[in-house]
Amino acid sequence: MKEVMEEAVLLFLLLVIYTPDAQGTRYSPPGKPELTRCRSPEKETFTCWWKPGSDGGLPTTHALYYRKENSDTIYECSDYHTAGENSCFFNKNDTSIWVNYNITVVASNALGSTFSDPVDIDVVYIVKPNPPEKVTVTVMELKEWPFLRVSWEPPHKADTRSGWITLIYELRVKLEGDDEWEMHLAGQQKLFNIFSLRSGGTYHVQVRCKPDHGFWSEWSSTSHIEIPDYLHREKSMWILIAVFSAFIFLILTWSLHMSSHSLKHCILPPVPGPKIKGFDKQLLKNGKSEDLLRVLVVSDFPPTTPSNYEDMLVEYLEVYVPQEQEVLLEESKDLHDSCLKFEGSTSDNDSGRVSCDSHTLLMDKCGEAKEEGRQTDQEDSTTEAEAQGQQKDWDQDTLMYANGDILSPEKSSGRVKTWPSVFSPLPQYTLSLPDQTSSLEMAKQHCYSDSLFCPGSTSSYLTHLGNNDNETLGPGSWEICLSNRQPYSHIPQMQTCQQVRSHSDVNISTIARKQEPAGLPLPFFRPTAYVEVQRFDEEDMVVLQSIVSDHGFHEGFPQMLQQEDYSKVKGVDSNNMLLLQTEAMKEDGDGCRCQDQVTNGVTESSCTLSISTTPHKPTAHIHTVVSTQDEMAQPASGYVDTATIFTLPTY
């Protein structure tokens, strides 16, 4: 019994437990439905749709209840079928505009019912019209260009005629095969023209509408339209484009041509040509650089061949040595280039000085210039003068002077050209010569102090000069001092500082005459005289100048140095070397300052000076006088007659 009871209980329990599993479903009240949307097509009726929840396994029914605003009456939907399943259609009688509806859907089954959430709607704001109807698309032509004309009608349900609904329209167009549509808003009109067409192809057109405050309708059914080809029109367009571009091209070309010059200047600025004297562009264009450089080299600088001394002369001084006058050669630093400014006919632009014409020797001009030059130069560094001297006075010539007694005014009737511009500056000299007379003195002093000292006689000479300056030293007389230290050919031991006076005219200053009746002062002048051979003019005159020795000189009269003076022409070497010998004939060089300067091949033998004829580098040219040498070999007196030398060519 108990066992049967237990089995029955067990069976019952099992039945109770497993019976539902066997059936597979559970009964439950329906799930909560949900109102999805409510729409009104014409603002006169509307429909609401809901989505039912789970039905709970039991047949579930749904009901829609609504309540109007300001009314507590609950109405139930009267039409569940017109709009389909799970919908409720509100007809015109049930629809009130501008009234708030509170709608609720209830799902119910055997086990219960479930209410959905209420929804408030106002019909005015849920209007979604039907798409436009009777959409017609036609192809029309405007001046041989096609366009589409689309026309339509509002949906028949929407009453726009009475003004109850106001619809606005929109259409879209696309070519067959395209992915994107071209949208056009048409407003309230029912006609629209589309001009953005490409010829050839099929077009799709669609239209839709919307009320003032509502939803857009669906797109209308597609209308297809085919547009014929208008290719020839496009061709004409291309032709027009080509012509227009050609025209523009012509205009551009013409404007470029007109402004080519300025454009050339803008794009390719003219290259400045070389402005070198003697530069030949043709040579450059020919591409022969050697010729070009040769031209450059040959042209002016440096002068390799002293072919034309006249041209190469920057300035020169023509010295006229009177017959009785002794040519005293002095060194004067002051007789600088600028000093020797004569009434030169030709003047080099660069020199700033006037090259001296041999004919005219104007003291005044030169004096003034000399003063100025002196005053300016003396403050200047010596290097400048030296540089000037070196640069410009490469053609300078020194005056060769012989002993004092050699100077014979008669012989010096010829013209002696001297180039005292070569005078190398003496650092020690700072002569300032305010006036002409004193300048002369200073010059003399300078000259003297440089190489030779002019003792008493000299001083007397000077004083004489000074005294007689105004009288004798007329315009045109000049004192030339040999510059010192020309590294060309140092003719050592110029015995005397000879002062060469030049006259513009034939007249020779009497001072000289007075001074040197017999060349007496000259022997006293035994200074160290280093004569440098400088260049000569075309008349092949050797100009020697004394060179200052390196030891310091003081202003004033240099001490008397027992030096040799090379005033005696020994002879002419076979090598066309003019050999000078001292009077003293000292073989060896006690005090024989034979400076061996091989610059131009001038070597000195024992107290002999040889002047070679080899031309040398720019600064000075030693132009040996071949002819003169021969002639110079002749003098038997043993003195070098400067006048002879200088005037030899004139014979």
Partner 1 sequence: MVSDSSLNHRLTLLFLVLVCLVFCRNLTSIGAAPICTNAQTGCQALSLANLFDRVIQHSARMHGISNDLHSEFEQYFLPSKNQIGRVSRNCHTSTILTPNGKENAQRMAREELTEVILKLLMAWRDPLWRFHQGMAHNHDFNNFSSNKALEMSDMVHELRKGVEKVADKMQMLGIISNSVSSQVSPEALLPSDSAEWHLMRDYDLLYCFRRDSNKVQNYLKILKCRIVPEHGC
Contacts with partner 1 by CB under 8 A lie at: 43-44, 67, 69-70, 92, 95-100, 102, 117, 120, 122, 124, 159-164, 166, 188, 212-213
Tell me the closest approach of the beta carbon of residue 81 to partner 1, in angstroms.
Answer: 24
Amino acid residing at 331: E
**How far is the C-alpha of 311 from the C-alpha of 325, rounded, in Å?**
30
Number of residues in the chain = 651
Tell me the closest approach of the beta carbon of residue 181 to partner 1, in angstroms.
Answer: 27
Tokens found for residue 326: 């002794």
Tell me the closest approach of the beta carbon of residue 172 to partner 1, in angstroms.
Answer: 24
- Residues 450, 432 contacting (CB under 8 angstroms): no
Pick the closer one to partner 1 by CB: 117 or 372: 117
Residues contacting residue 249 through CB under 8 Å, at least 6 positions apart: none
**How far is the C-alpha of 529 from the C-alpha of 558, rounded, in Å?**
11
User: What are the residues facing 88 on neighbouring strands?
Assistant: 48
Tell me the closest approach of the beta carbon of residue 186 to partner 1, in angstroms.
Answer: 13
Pick the closer one to partner 1 by CB: 40 or 619: 40
Tell me whether the omega of the peptide bond preceding residue 302 falls within 30 degrees of 0, making it cis.
Answer: yes
Burial (0-12, 13-18, 19+ Cβ within 10 Å), 269? exposed
CA distances (Å), origin 195, targets 44, 173, 224? 38, 11, 16
User: What are the residues facing 238 on neighbouring strands?
Assistant: none
Nearest CA among 370, 358, 362 for reference residue 475: 362
Tell me the closest approach of the beta carbon of residue 161 to partner 1, in angstroms.
Answer: 6
Pick the closer one to partner 1 by CB: 32 or 586: 32
**How far is the C-alpha of 94 from the C-alpha of 83, rounded, in Å?**
15
Pick the closer one to partner 1 by CB: 116 or 600: 116
Tell me the closest approach of the beta carbon of residue 97 to partner 1, in angstroms.
Answer: 5
Residues contacting residue 457 through CB under 8 Å, at least 6 positions apart: 515, 520, 521, 524, 525
Pick the closer one to partner 1 by CB: 122 or 229: 122
**How far is the C-alpha of 608 from the C-alpha of 588, rounded, in Å?**
10
Tell me the closest approach of the beta carbon of residue 167 to partner 1, in angstroms.
Answer: 11
Tokens found for residue 283: 């040579």
**How far is the C-alpha of 392 from the C-alpha of 336, rounded, in Å?**
11
Tell me the closest approach of the beta carbon of residue 68 to partner 1, in angstroms.
Answer: 8
Pick the closer one to partner 1 by CB: 161 or 551: 161
Pick the closer one to partner 1 by CB: 164 or 247: 164
Torsion sign, CA atoms 416, 434, 392, 532: positive
Pick the closer one to partner 1 by CB: 71 or 346: 71
Tell me the closest approach of the beta carbon of residue 43 to partner 1, in angstroms.
Answer: 7
- Residues 375, 424 contacting (CB under 8 angstroms): no
Pick the closer one to partner 1 by CB: 44 or 395: 44
